[in-house]
Structure 1
């Protein structure tokens, strides 16, 4: 009995060691999954709204405004009459967005002049990830422990992604022409590394010479945004550019087209044009005296042997009947 009790202790110790190892494995797996769960909580879902805020600027010089701590101030994008809210984007959704500003005030009109004249850019930003209550409580760009800005213009741009709107147009003495059709391009980070994250963004006016609107103080201004999303920081391949590129398929197509055109031309020449020319050449030879009629003096037809037709002897003879061409002798 004593021997059995002694031999059971090694089995019990092995069992306890296995249980402790399994518990440690579960704890390590749970700790590894925790950052993933936190990352999923701070990732955009398809169609989730993305707020747009822009730098607050003075109307006198266009300089950006800072708070009492010297931090840049961001304010909401002007309210769109279509939604009753400031401009918002939908994550991962390509669509056309109209944002109508019902009333262009005098201060905002002067800011439009700065934007169009490129004295001060329309600098905006969007959250790289969904904002938490802590990060969205302040309009100013937050700073980290080393006093580095982590916002749109900081050295560590992680919290916000810059969105500079290149608004173009023409300035006049009493009004401005605003190119109000804009392309808005956004790049999402790859799903394999940072799902639901914005990597880059940009907006710019297009067709400023034809698609613009006249604006004076008190008018309404409609901005037409054509929003397109890209699933990675890399632009899609296959773009031929303005001048185009020569690909192997294009070269083969040109060679095949040239060969087909050559074959058609040869077939037409040998089957249609050449027989017609030979037939015409043969008729001309026959009509020039090969076994037929020739032409004598005066352009009258005569036989090939020089005798006149219908008795007319031509230049050397008179009378009717067949003549030898010597004419009448005295």
Structure 2
């Protein structure tokens, strides 16, 4: 009996040890999961924006000793007191006012506007793991970079901001109204995942901000989200083609013209013609004659009450 109890106790101990080992193995693998294996964004969840760190002397990107690119948070917005953030699936007009344009940032703006260096930013494709969020943006995270040139891994989606404007000797004109487009992967494939993004200045020649060192700069983003990588058609052209509206307009115009013509004919022209025809018929019986040609070119007429003979002087003898 004691041997049976001992064997049963060993079996229970073996099963317990197996479950403990399995739990340790699973917990040891959890930190290895990347963003591609994690959850997607929820509607309205904030998305931080970070940008490539560049030197103010040449505009070249800054790398560490291992050749990895460094990213820093987008400048702090006065409206929120935080760096620029997007919100998943939320279309809005987003304002970000930079209180003070420092001398280094002013020179970076010159590079961006002159297209000597792009304003290269990035956003997480999915919510970042806590291990990445705890790191300082200024430190290079080897799990989020690939290669010496810093090509983006699946953790991030590139967001290149095409900033337009005009360079002057003492100041800049910055196209501060921007469209910001974000594509999410189809919900059926990978819900809550960002697939592509871009931003660009619009109407930079008419809607811009004059900036000097020490000024503030207000950036206005018109954020639009698309549920797939395909843009919906929106171009209707400047004319020169037959559209449904044009065809309907022509049809209505033709109908209105026909109705006016019918009303005029039946209300004005037809009664006038009938009256004229009736007058002509009545005039034959009252005194109009039937002229017969004679040698001198004048005619004899049979009057209503007798016969008329033409004379040489043009008078008629009854």
Provide the residue aligned with 1:321 in structure 2.
none
- Structure 1 residue 244, shift from structure 2 partner: 6.8
Distance 1:172 1:193, change over 3 A: same
Distance 1:264 1:158, change over 3 A: same
- Structure 1 residue 266, shift from structure 2 partner: 2.6
Partner Cα distance (2:190, 2:110) in 1: 39
- Structure 1 residue 258, shift from structure 2 partner: 3.1
SS state at 1:191 partner = coil
Partner Cα distance (1:52, 1:194) in 2: 21
Q: Larger relative contact order (C-alpha < 8 A, sep ≥ 6)?
A: 2
Provide the residue aligned with 2:258 in structure 1.
266
What is the CA deviation profile of residues 65-99 of structure 1, one whole-angstrom value per residue up to 9, with x for unaligned ones? 11121111111111111111111111121122111
Provide the residue aligned with 2:185 in structure 1.
189
Q: Tell whether the 8 Å contact from 1:142 to 1:149 is kept in structure 2 after alignment.
A: no
What is the CA deviation profile of residues 160-204 of structure 1, one whole-angstrom value per residue up to 9, with x for unaligned ones? 110001111111111111111111111112222222211111111
Q: TM-score with structure 2 length normalisation?
A: 0.68
Provide the residue aligned with 2:215 in structure 1.
219
What is the CA deviation profile of residues 139-163 of structure 1, one whole-angstrom value per residue up to 9, with x for unaligned ones? 4565569x94499x52x63011100
- Structure 1 residue 61, shift from structure 2 partner: 1.1
Provide the residue aligned with 1:207 in structure 2.
203
Partner Cα distance (1:197, 1:243) in 2: 34
Q: TM-score with structure 1 length normalisation?
A: 0.66
Partner Cα distance (1:99, 1:272) in 2: 66
Q: Which stretch shifts more, 73-82 or 262-271?
A: 262-271
- Structure 1 residue 235, shift from structure 2 partner: 1.8
SS state at 1:130 partner = coil
Q: Is 2:97 the counterpart of 1:100?
A: yes
Alignment of 1:43-192 (within 5 A): 43-136=40-133, 137=135, 139=137, 142-143=141-142, 148-149=146-147, 153-154=150-151, 157-192=153-188
For structure 2, the residue ranges without an aligned partner over 5 or more in a row are 1-21, 287-300, 302-312
Partner Cα distance (1:59, 1:254) in 2: 56
Distance 1:149 1:93, change over 3 A: farther
Distance 1:165 1:242, change over 3 A: farther
Alignment of 1:302-317 (within 5 A): none
Distance 1:212 1:72, change over 3 A: same
Provide the residue aligned with 2:16 in structure 1.
none
SS state at 1:135 partner = helix
Q: Tell whether the 8 Å contact from 1:150 to 1:157 is kept in structure 2 after alignment.
A: no
Alignment of 1:7-46 (within 5 A): 41-46=38-43
SS state at 1:202 partner = strand
Q: Tell whether the 8 Å contact from 2:122 to 2:158 is kept in structure 1 after alignment.
A: yes
Partner Cα distance (2:91, 2:236) in 1: 24
- Structure 1 residue 271, shift from structure 2 partner: 2.7
Aligned length: 264
- Structure 1 residue 214, shift from structure 2 partner: 0.6
